[in-house]
Structure 1
Amino acid sequence: MTTVNESTRSAHDKFLSKRSLLDTFFSSVRDPAFAVTYWDGTRAVYGHGEPEFTIDFRKEPGLLDLLASPSLFFGESYMRGEIDIAGSFHAVARALDAALDSGVATLKNTIMSRAVAALSSTARSLAQQKKDIAAHYDLGNDFFALWLDKPTASYSCAYFRDAADDLATAQQQKLDLVLRKLHMEPGMRVLDIGCGWGGLSIRAAKDYGARVLAVTLSEEQAAAVRQRYEEHGLTGICGVRLCNYLELDQAEQFDRVVSVGMFEHVGKEHYGDYFGKVRSLLKTGGVSLLHTLTKNKPGETDPWIAKHIFPGGHIPAVTEVVARLPEHDLHLLHAESLRRHYVKTLDAWYDNFSKPEVVAKVRAMFGQAFVRMWGLYLRMASAFLAIGDLDVHQFVFSKGINDDLPMTLEHIYTVK
């Protein structure tokens, strides 16, 4: 029979074991300083200096969740409202970096490695890729319309020529930047892989005289793009196809191939397929632009992001992109980082998303856990870009050598 003292001691020991595990994890961080309020009301400060953020445990956590994956543990606990975070999310990103890079990687050792491997190593079929895309982009056009810019509905990094530019202006500038990098000429046939809501193809057709085929795996997006083409009088000039780009017949030849914000969904096991298909669809001398999130070095995608935001996705290292080009006779012409632009873009999206009237609508659509999940995604993506863990690049390359292109890049950045 368990005595009161034994029961009390057991609860105390249980608390200490969880507390000591978390204390070990948090103590590995020297900078930045932060505070933690534990579920029993006690408070501890880690690092040196004034705390830049506070983690508040609203309930006692499970040990196995933390052992399996710190990322999933903190992300899902936040989604459920079991922890709250107040203060600088940039500092949160720095702290997570420090903890996971330290000796406390024991917390993401065997169990986490197996979980990550299971998430990332499974080759995906075309059908699975379609399901993965739908899980993200078929959340509904009404949802994305609540916080994206209205004119272009662009769900990718904007381009801020001036720090004071608003989001709509910066997104239109991004479209022009992409199209200038492609050296567009009237009458060119363009393939837009992963077309989003059609902003780029509409701009290419109306302002650059292009004929565009847009492809997407999202039924919601395809329906919206068809409607937008009709509204802009582009039926017959632009077309949208609900299909995987790999299913396109190589007899369909294009002067230009562009992909903005889609490559993260390809999966590293299909990088060769992507570049091989682009090569087969491009005319000799044709030019392609790839706009994608990147990392500085190869590694697995964060488990929380892989599970809740981009199922089946992989963020490539710059080297993983560039190294593939020569295998397909694709010649790199230009690569540019837009990291600082994406920080501003994500911050603008979060400002839109966090408006009370928007939060109320999203909560009615998907529930409070989703509201917290999406807000965390936007804020942490901005934070990891700000500290340099993530980046975003535009790669421009040609099929074979093209000596007819301008000798310099002045025309890209000189706006009349």
Structure 2
Amino acid sequence: MTSMTIAQAFDSLLREPLPLRFTAYDGSATGPEDAPFKFHLRTERGLAYLVTAPGDLGLARAYVSGDLEIEGVHPGDPYEAMRLLQKGLKLRRPAPGELVSLVQAVGLSSLKPPPPPPQESTPRWRRVLEGLRHSERRDADSIHHHYDVSNTFYEHVLGPSMTYTCAIFPTEDATLEEAQHTKYDVVARKLDLQPGQRLLDLGCGWGGMVRHAAREYGVHALGVTLSREQATWAQQRIKEEGLDDLAEVRHMDYRHVEESGFDAVSSIGLTEHIGIKNYPSYFSWIRDRLKPQGRLLNHCITRSDNKSRASAGAFIDRYVFPDGELAGSGTIVAAVEDVGLEVQHHENIRVHYAKTLAGWCHNLQENWDACVDEVGLGTARVWGLYMAGSRLAFERNEIQLHHVLATKTDDQGTSGYPLRHTF
């Protein structure tokens, strides 16, 4: 009996014909010859990645390592190929009798998992040895894995704003920089920042919100981040902009901030790293740092429902945000209300994140050679894959981005909030 080729084995698992061309190192192929994109499996190691880790993790390992190539698309922005793949790749479970033929096709050696690419974080079960999930040490390690890549790399990808959170586009044709400025200003107006007030920005990144509040609103702003690289960059930029008297960024865990009595707290892109079970303590901590009638603006990625499992897929957990967890916006609102804060406004801006990610992918593609020189080909591939995939998820309403605005009501039940929104 003649054994199947790799392409035949792959083809046998498809429920519907593939809209892409697939070729393998054994010379086999399947899919239309005139397809706009071709997936080429170059090596036996790549096959072993796909076989031993079915799904997004195996595909990511093969792609990041260079064992799987996508022809017809730039690695800085593989969005179009991923969109077509996501639309057309529908696999079925093989019948027990088919397994022998499939094993013969791929070879027994492919059933042994190869070592993962160096960009991959340890699996979640092994991280237990490094500390409990969301302990200070483990959180610091997770943040270091993603954010301490290289400030120069982030400058290439994020652009001059150095802002790694969802922008808000005032018009369809607004630039990424205009949209990031708009985002910070929307947050400032939702918080009703006034000259002389005090703002605490949690998970402040490279200090974009801190600098905006100080420069545009005359606010005394303190930002904290677990990334030493971010804090160093932010402090240098604060000095260059002459904002030393108003703005400060510290490299520290937010739990060690001793000051209180803030007029406003902004949490932009941090809640994803907190852990759902820690929401009560997190929002209680924020409540205790606010003065009566103070405001909180929580900006974070959310699920599209409140039932799905919190952890991200294996690729995101291993390559992008170790220990990251997402909840539905209802879970966020409930957690904020349950600690005694009063929710005043709740807004979904997910379509803006899809546009933001498209902008970042464009920057990565435009600066591809410089990015590869800075962080290496494998890491650059991770970022292209992650950002294009995330763009698809936001477009398909698989994940969302919510603003939740809340106030700390005083003992007389006064929130300080106007009759109607002023932003």
User: TM-score category by the smaller chain?
Assistant: 0.7 to 0.9
Contact 2:269 2:301 in 1 (8 A): yes
The residue type equivalent to 1:56 in the other structure is H
One-letter amino acid of the structure 2 residue matched with residue 245 of structure 1: Y
Q: TM-score, normalised by structure 2?
A: 0.81
- Is the counterpart of residue 190 in structure 1 residue 190 in structure 2? no
**Tell me, what secondary structure is at the counterpart of 2:158?**
coil
CA–CA distance in 2 between the matches of 1:321 and 1:304?
25
1:83 is the counterpart of 2:68: yes
Q: Percent identity?
A: 29
- Are 2:133 and 1:123 equivalent residues in the alignment? yes
Deviates more, 1:228-237 or 1:87-96: 87-96
Q: Is the 8 A contact 2:350 2:401 kept in 1?
A: yes
Deviations along 1:100-131, one digit per CA (max 9) or x if unpaired, are xx879x9xxxxxxxx98738995232011111
| 1:269 paired residue among 277, 285, 291 | 277
Q: Secondary structure at the match of 1:191?
A: strand
Q: Report the TM-score, using the length of structure 1 for normalisation.
A: 0.82
1:340 to 1:119, Cα distance in 2 relative to 1, 3 A: farther
Q: Structure 2 matches for 1:17-416, cutoff 5 A?
A: 20=9, 22-23=10-11, 25-27=13-15, 33-45=19-31, 54-60=38-44, 61-62=46-47, 65-85=50-70, 86=72, 87-95=80-88, 118=125, 123-150=133-160, 152-249=161-258, 252-297=260-305, 298-299=308-309, 300-355=311-366, 358-400=367-409, 402-409=414-421, 411-412=422-423
Distance 2:414 2:240 in 1: 37
Shift of 1:77: 0.8
Q: Deviations over 1:317-346 (max 9, x none)?
A: 223312212220122211211111111111
Contact map agreement 2:49 2:59 (CA 8 A) in 1: no
Equivalenced residues, count: 379
1:347 deviation in Å?
Answer: 0.8
Shift of residue 369, structure 1, vs aligned partner: 1.3
Query: In 1, are the aligned partners of 2:147 and 2:227 still within 8 Å (CA)?
Result: yes
Deviation of 1:52 (Å): 7.2
Are the aligned partners of 1:53 and 1:92 in contact in 2 as well (CA < 8 Å)? no
CA distance in 2, matches of 1:317, 1:94: 25
Query: Which range moves more in the overlay, 227-236 or 161-170?
Result: 227-236
Q: Structure 2: where are the runs of 5+ without partners?
A: 73-79, 97-121
CA separation of 1:310 and 1:187: change in aligned 2, threshold 3 A: same
- Offset of 1:169 from its aligned partner? 0.9
Q: Distance in 2 between matches of 1:239 and 1:367?
A: 32
Q: Is contact 1:291–1:394 with CA below 8 Å preserved after alignment?
A: yes
Cα distance in 2 between the residues matched to 1:208 and 1:223 = 23
